[in-house]
A and B are shown apart, each in its own frame.
Chain A
Amino acid sequence: MADFLLELLSEEIPARMQAKARADLERLFVAQLNDAGLKAGDITVYSTPRRLALIAKDLPDQTEAVSEEAKGPPEGAPDQAVDGFCRKNGVTRDQLEVHDVKGRATYFAVINRPGRATSDVLAEAIPAIIKAFPWPKSMRWGEASLSTESLRWVRPLSGIVAILGDDLVECEIDGVTSGYETVGHRFHHDGVVTIGNAGDYAEKLRACHVLVDQTEREAIVRDGAAKAASDGGLELVADEGLVIENAGLTEWPVPLLGGFDPAFLDVPEEVIQLTARVNQKYFICRDQSGKLAPNFICTANIDATDGGKAIVAGNEKVLAARLSDAKFFWELDQKTALEDHAKKLSNIVFHEKLGTVADKVERVAKLAEWLVSLEGNGFYQSSPGDTFHGEVSEAARLCKADLVTEMVGEFPDLQGLMGGYYAEKQGKSKAVANAIRDHYKPVGQGDEVPTDPVTVAVSLADKLDTLVGFFAIDEKPTGSKDPFALRRAAIGIIRLILTNGLRERLVDLAGMASAPYAESMIEGLDEDTRQSLLKKQFSEKLYLGFMDFIIDRLKVQQREAGVRHDIIESVTSLDSEDDLVRLLARVNALQAFVETPDGKNLLAGYKRASNILKKENVEQSDTKPLSYTPEKAEKALIDALDAAQPDVTAAIEAEEFEKAMTALANLRAPIDQFFEDVTVNDSDADKREARLALLARFRAAVHQVADFSKIEG
């Protein structure tokens, strides 16, 4: 048994690639061991900017010897066949054994594969791992790159350390040979570091200012940054992404506290944070009162001779220049009214078939205005009678204006947010500023859902316009491809409607959203689509596709809340229920019901009835006066249906879905008793027909609530 060390030394590996590279190194190494029939004890992988390393404990000295038998032709087969078999297995004829196979004497070749030295296996495995390494981007370099077939690595590969026990595993790839030597810290250590074995690797490097274990460096960045902040009387804004990135950029991390001119704090906090984090990889801090402090923490890669003073001074200067750029943008952007910024949107193409962003904004504004003009749709909840028309109209027309500002040009992530700030500065109402800021929300499932009516109208209109537009030009997501983020838009629509209890049918929303597309000249729209859009409604085909897409997203979105997809299916499949609020209320009531004993039994009764009807090809019920005296259980079912049907209808009409379930539950005992006592398939044709009709009536009663055949279990 011996421990194995592999280090692949290179020029700086991008920080973002290191975690995956470690996992890939381990995976490829284990695969190579498996192929050779070797198994290691613990495997540890490390990365720094300049090296990838792996330590495998307790590798056996050699692979197991294997003896295999290969079955050949029967005895007496032509010489040609026997010789061919020998050649194939590398044995001579006199080495063949003869065994009995089902009464037939057959040749067998016994192939003994002796154990191989583990070091030999590793010497082959290392170049194989290097060649197969799946870097997201790789390159060629140096003299060897005269050929495009030369070795590729993420950056030039400069050395290999490969030691099994205390012995070198000799290997070579494209001129890079294995050795005991590596390098220490780029500036703290001159010359080579000679490694003895896996056991002294980390410590030898530590002595040369390299902490090879990324978790140790991460801890130093995390704790050191927190300490640097608290030493300055501040609190660090924790950011694990930055911890990992800084650990991936350093071999000897040293967090240092710096500051900037408090005058920059006029600039919105989010801008300062992004400037510091994205451009400079700095942490930011808050003061005791929770306000952003004019300080930052950078992570140096050296223990500087002056304790880091020059480094801090340099970084302060860089951040100051960045912040003065940001402040310049912040002030410059405010010199132009959002209304004037918005005019430039006509230069930005939204999609070649869907016009410019200015076109989109106009569509969104009209749709949002229409949304708040509807009565009883939830926009009226906060103050009856107020239609928000003016604010919605203004917010919608300004909501994309910040896309052409300098600040959003520099930091695209700040879209919406900057518009909100600029609107506030321009003296717009709070509702308008909020709507501009938050109209992209909710971004996906976890994001907060707006409830301010003006924001809701603009946000919903924006997403509807996007979804309907891309459906109209047939740019639907396929598989994992969703370049226009339509799934996210659909989830946004669903969450806005449900959270705000908006009572509008999807068919109306889609129809209204699609109208302007038909009016504007959209290239690439086929004439049928255009005509159907011109009638101010989605064509049926388009609408069904749109509807399916929304319902699919609803199923995904509701899964987390424990709502069963089969229940959603059962409610949407019969009538085209497309008022999402009502749909979900029905679904919830139904799910609660089918999980009760009454519900389960009714479902069983329904399935039995449904199966009989299917077998007999009964489509619908024609209730005729009975020509005979019904049996007791038959009469009881008729009476129960007479009583329940109007109750179910009334309850559904009133959207009292639990009441509808209770009414349905009253059918459970009679249907059970009916199947218990009554023969449907009676020899009397009249009776048989009447009883099938009764079952069909029962099925129809249940279908008033949902298509129970879609419910599982």
Chain B
Amino acid sequence: MTLWRAFAKASAKDIALAKKAITLPDPNLSQKPLSFQQIILKLHDYWSDQGCAILQPYDMEMGAGTFHTATTLRALGPDPWNAAFVQPCRRPTDGRYGENPNRLQHYYQYQVILKPSPPDIQQLYLDSLTAIGIDPMLHDIRFVEDDWESPTLGAWGLGWEVWCDGMEVTQFTYFQQMGGFDCKPVAGELTYGLERLAMYIQGVDSIYDLDYNGAGVSYGDIFLDNEKQMSEWNFEIANTETLFDLFNKAVGECENCLEAKLPIPAYEQAIKASHVFNLLQARGVISVQERASYMGRVRDLAKGSCEAYMAKNGWAA
């Protein structure tokens, strides 16, 4: 028996123990589903127990948690890295003025990154679902092929979308490349769609009806106005000249940072350019032909930042 097998065995035992702990009678769990913030807190607890650093959201607009430096940049290089965090995501074109119960231009992802990917990563993930009240003997949990690719980040990976009773609740990816570089070692990335998961757990049909804090505040109380105003701004008001200007300035500043061999600030400017590009898309001022060229520019910035990050740390490709 190799070390690996021994490890797998031990971890199966741990899991059984963990399961026992979870099925201990919890009056809150059996009576009332978790509130939005409780789900986050439970996940924080759970992943903290697995040795993850619990980070706070990145303070910049981004389209997905994957853009967080804790994912993108930390996926590079040989150092082990385990972290979990909530990341607000902005996708201007998904705005629906608060009128669609399933779509938002601003929402939350829960991100976990485990590097190198541990052998029991699937079981760790499934136990996290149990921790937030999803019973796998009552619900149909499935790993359905869904490979991930981000042309903007020059990244791809293989994995699944995880289905719970037919609903995609998590994106599960083994990163193979980031910024055009092979991941050595490979990191496992888990991205939970928090609102979807909460809607599922709470059994509500509209995001805005989600119980946010278990004490009378709904998701709509906090975000409905935000969705209405931001949709209007994204689609109708945002000054496109200013946006084009911002895009070019971010590009320029990124290049400036790259020249100074400062990969992290360079990468921040790439994130900025990417978000401004998304806003320009929402304003409908980028033609199909131009789209590819803008995306190419953002990709070059992101790849350049990753390259500089590798160089700064003295890692070979």
Contacts and interface: CB of A to CB of B under 8 A. Distances in A.
Contacts of B182: 148
Interface string B174-185: 101000001111
Contact of B137 (A11, A298, A302): A302
Contacts of A314: 139-140, 164-167, 200
B51 to A, nearest CB: 15
B115 to A, nearest CB: 10
A305 B136 CA distance: 10
Interface in B156-192: 157-160, 164-167, 174, 176, 182-186, 188
B56 interface: no
Interface stretch (A173-181, A479-487, A547-555): A173-181
Contacts of B16: 190-191
Contacts of B188: 141
B1 interface: yes
Contacts of B122: 11
B205 interface: yes
Interface string B1-31: 1111100100010001000000000000000
A20 B288 CA distance: 38
Given A139-B176, A143-B116, A349-B288, A306 B1 contact: no
Contacts of A179: 1, 5
Nearest to A176: B4
A141 B187 CA distance: 8
Given A11-B143, A305-B137, A175 B4 contact: yes
A310 interface: yes
B259 interface: no
B138 interface: yes
B185 A318 contact: no
Contacts of A145: 116-117, 183-186
B186 A298 contact: no
A137 to B, nearest CB: 6
B242 interface: no
B138 A139 contact: no
A142 B200 contact: no
B1 A16 contact: no
B117 A141 contact: yes
Contact of B185 (A137, A142, A175): A142
A318 B102 CA distance: 11
A306 B138 contact: yes
Contacts of B3: 175
Interface string B268-288: 000000000000000000011
A311 B118 contact: no
B138 A137 contact: no
A318 B166 contact: yes
A675 interface: no
Contacts of A172: 2
B42 interface: no
Interface string A198-231: 0000000000000000000000000000000000
B261 interface: no
Contact of B117 (A142, A158, A311, A319): A142
Contacts of A191: 12, 16
B9 to A, nearest CB: 8
A321 interface: yes
Contacts of B100: 328
B1 A142 contact: no
B205 A140 contact: no
B119 A249 contact: no
A139 B186 contact: yes
Contact of A15 (B117, B145, B157): B145
Contact of A49 (B102, B143, B176, B205): B143
B78 interface: yes
Interface string A493-525: 000000000000000000000000000000000
Nearest to B158: A139
A506 B91 CA distance: 51
A683 interface: no
B137 A304 contact: yes
A158 B119 contact: yes
A14 interface: yes
B147 interface: yes
B138 A305 contact: yes
Given A301-B140, A347-B288, A310 B185 contact: no
Given A14-B145, A311-B140, A143 B5 contact: no
B135 to A, nearest CB: 8
Contacts of A321: 101-102, 205
Interface in A324-339: 324-325, 328
B297 interface: no
B160 A12 contact: yes
A152 to B, nearest CB: 10
B138 A177 contact: no
A577 B83 CA distance: 73
A132 interface: no
Nearest to A137: B158
B293 interface: no
Nearest to A256: B140
A311 B200 CA distance: 11
Nearest to B3: A175
A141 B174 contact: yes
B12 A177 contact: no
B228 interface: no
A681 interface: no
A16 B144 CA distance: 11
B309 to A, nearest CB: 18
A184 to B, nearest CB: 12
Contact of A147 (B8, B102, B117, B184): B184
Contacts of B186: 139-142, 145
B140 A302 contact: yes
B289 interface: yes
Contacts of A301: 140-142
A663 interface: no
Contacts of A302: 136-137, 140
Contacts of A12: 143-145, 160
Residue with the highest number of chain B CB atoms closer than 10 Å, among A147, A172, A176, A314: A314
B14 to A, nearest CB: 13
Residue with the highest number of chain B CB atoms closer than 10 Å, among A142, A144, A302, A320: A142
Contact of A310 (B126, B139, B167): B139
Contacts of A155: 158-159, 174
Nearest to A181: B5
Contact of A348 (B135, B137, B288): B288
A172 B5 CA distance: 12
Interface in B90-146: 100-102, 116-119, 122, 126, 135-145
A140 B176 contact: yes
Contacts of B183: 140, 145
Interface string A148-184: 1000001110100000000000001001110100000
Interface in A273-304: 280, 282, 298, 300-302, 304
A140 B1 CA distance: 22
A215 B73 CA distance: 46
B316 to A, nearest CB: 11
A310 B165 contact: yes
A263 interface: no
A406 B137 CA distance: 38
Contacts of B138: 304-306, 310-311
Interface of B: 1-5, 8, 12, 16, 78, 100-102, 116-119, 122, 126, 135-145, 147, 157-160, 164-167, 174, 176, 182-186, 188, 200, 205, 287-289
Given A188-B137, A311-B139, 9 more contacts: A141-B117, A142-B186, A148-B182, A154-B158, A155-B158, A155-B174, A177-B5, A317-B205, A318-B166
Q: Which 5 A-B pairs have the closest CB atoms?
A: A314-B165, A14-B145, A12-B143, A315-B166, A145-B186
10 contacts: A137-B147, A140-B183, A140-B186, A141-B188, A144-B185, A146-B78, A187-B136, A305-B138, A324-B102, A325-B102
